[in-house]
């Protein structure tokens, strides 16, 4: 496959993890401007594990995801009592705190004669496990795609087991859900842990794809994009946020003739979509219609 296409597809896959992470929280009724923090935590944790501690790739990426989930739950424990703008700004504060802390985070060790590890604002390079193992970009794309499909399958399974329905209940009307015996706070913390783990997984994969990460990549802009993906693509299904990423990265990369105006085109397109379909392209109504049609 064309190397450029592989790199675009890899980016779409990697940012899908971040978009899904924000989407899960949206279902639970919370807007997070801070999922990029868990992406960063996953990227740094997995990068340190494989490049500095010489862990194998699988263990390193898993460690990034676990750390993302743990910190996600820890932050949600006080923050999940809030809703709306309050939650959004609390997550934003945590994410900016993480970025600012990474700016002064130095952890460089001697690995084979080279200083390796995060160097504050200068970033963290030489996360070379994948290249040293001789894995080409093509097969690595397959790794990303497989994991993404596994996540979607897991969400599909959760929908079968009514997990998603309960989460949506919590998001739609927490008081009514609590009256039905749903443990609202637990669901919100659980959703935040799942979202943190997903973003951490994506971050770990991203670090090994890019081989270099720096704190500036994990700015508020990244987090707001992640929320916007779900809202554009639709809140009805896990394919919604992925469609959002496809529209942003895929469509805009194919419109390279309009490169200078791409954000103007994208912004206008999104504004129109949201006027016509306030809950995104693949909203709940459309998903329900497709389900009914498929059952027939």
**Site residues for other proteins per CB under 8 A:** 26, 31, 78-79, 81-82, 85-86, 88-90, 92-94, 96-97, 99-101, 103-104, 121, 220-221, 224, 227-228, 231-232, 260-264, 266-271, 274-275, 278-279
* Residues 137, 131: Cα–Cα separation, whole Å: 9
DSSP 174-230: HHHHHHTT--HHHHHHHHHHHHHHHHHHHHHHHHHHHS-B-GGGGSHHHHHHHHHHH
**Considering beta carbons, is residue 101 or 133 the nearer one to other proteins?**
101
**Considering beta carbons, is residue 135 or 269 the nearer one to other proteins?**
269
**Considering beta carbons, is residue 26 or 164 the nearer one to other proteins?**
26
Least distance from other proteins to the Cβ atom of residue 284, Å: 13
Exposed / middle / buried, residue 276 (Cβ in 10 Å: 0-12, 13-18, 19+): exposed
Contact 108, 119 (CB under 8 A): yes
Residue in 87, 69, 78 with CA at minimum distance from that of residue 28: 87
**Considering beta carbons, is residue 86 or 183 the nearer one to other proteins?**
86
Least distance from other proteins to the Cβ atom of residue 93, Å: 4
**Considering beta carbons, is residue 31 or 205 the nearer one to other proteins?**
31
**Considering beta carbons, is residue 46 or 228 the nearer one to other proteins?**
228
Least distance from other proteins to the Cβ atom of residue 213, Å: 18
Phi, psi angle pair for 118, to nearest 5°? -60, 135
Pairing mode of beta strands 114-116, 109-111: antiparallel
Contact 71, 194 (CB under 8 A): no
237: region left, alpha or beta (phi > 0 left; psi from -120 to 50 alpha): beta
Contact 179, 51 (CB under 8 A): no
Residue in 121, 100, 123, 99 with CA at minimum distance from that of residue 47: 123
**Considering beta carbons, is residue 65 or 228 the nearer one to other proteins?**
228
Rg over alpha carbons for the chain, rounded to the nearest Å, is: 19
Phi, psi angle pair for 110, to nearest 5°? -80, 115
Least distance from other proteins to the Cβ atom of residue 37, Å: 11
Least distance from other proteins to the Cβ atom of residue 89, Å: 5
Least distance from other proteins to the Cβ atom of residue 135, Å: 35
Least distance from other proteins to the Cβ atom of residue 237, Å: 17
Strand partners, 109: 116
**Considering beta carbons, is residue 212 or 261 the nearer one to other proteins?**
261
Least distance from other proteins to the Cβ atom of residue 99, Å: 8
């Amino acid at each position: 496959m064309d190397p450029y296409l592989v790199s675009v597809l890899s980016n779409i896959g990697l940012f899908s993890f971040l978009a899904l992470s924000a989407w899960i929280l949206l279902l639970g009724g919370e807007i997070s401007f801070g999922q990029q923090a868990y992406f960063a935590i996953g990227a740094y944790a997995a990068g340190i594990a494989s490049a500095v501690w010489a862990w194998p790739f699988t263990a390193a990426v898993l460690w990034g995801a676990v750390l993302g989930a743990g910190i996600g739950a820890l932050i949600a424990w006080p923050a999940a009592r809030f809703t709306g703008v309050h939650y959004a700004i609390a997550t934003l504060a945590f994410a900016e705190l993480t970025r600012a802390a990474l700016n002064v985070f130095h952890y460089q060790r001697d690995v084979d004669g080279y200083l390796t590890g995060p160097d504050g604002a200068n970033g963290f390079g030489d996360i070379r496990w994948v290249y040293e193992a001789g894995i080409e970009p093509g097969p690595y794309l397959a790794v990303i795609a497989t994991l993404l499909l596994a996540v979607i399958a897991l969400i599909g399974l959760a929908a079968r087991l009514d997990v998603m329905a309960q989460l949506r209940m919590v998001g739609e009307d927490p008081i009514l859900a609590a009256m039905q015996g749903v443990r609202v706070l637990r669901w919100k913390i659980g959703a935040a842990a799942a979202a943190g783990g997903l973003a951490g997984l994506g971050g770990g994969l991203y670090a090994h794809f890019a081989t270099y990460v720096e704190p500036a990549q994990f700015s508020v802009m990244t987090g707001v994009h992640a929320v916007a993906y779900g809202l554009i693509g639709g809140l009805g299904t896990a394919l919604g946020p992925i469609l959002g990423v496809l529209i942003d990265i895929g469509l805009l990369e194919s419109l390279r003739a309009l490169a200078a105006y791409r954000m103007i085109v994208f912004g206008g397109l999104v504004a129109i979509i949201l006027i016509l379909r306030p809950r995104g392209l693949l909203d709940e109504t459309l998903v329900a219609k497709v389900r009914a049609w498929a059952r027939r």
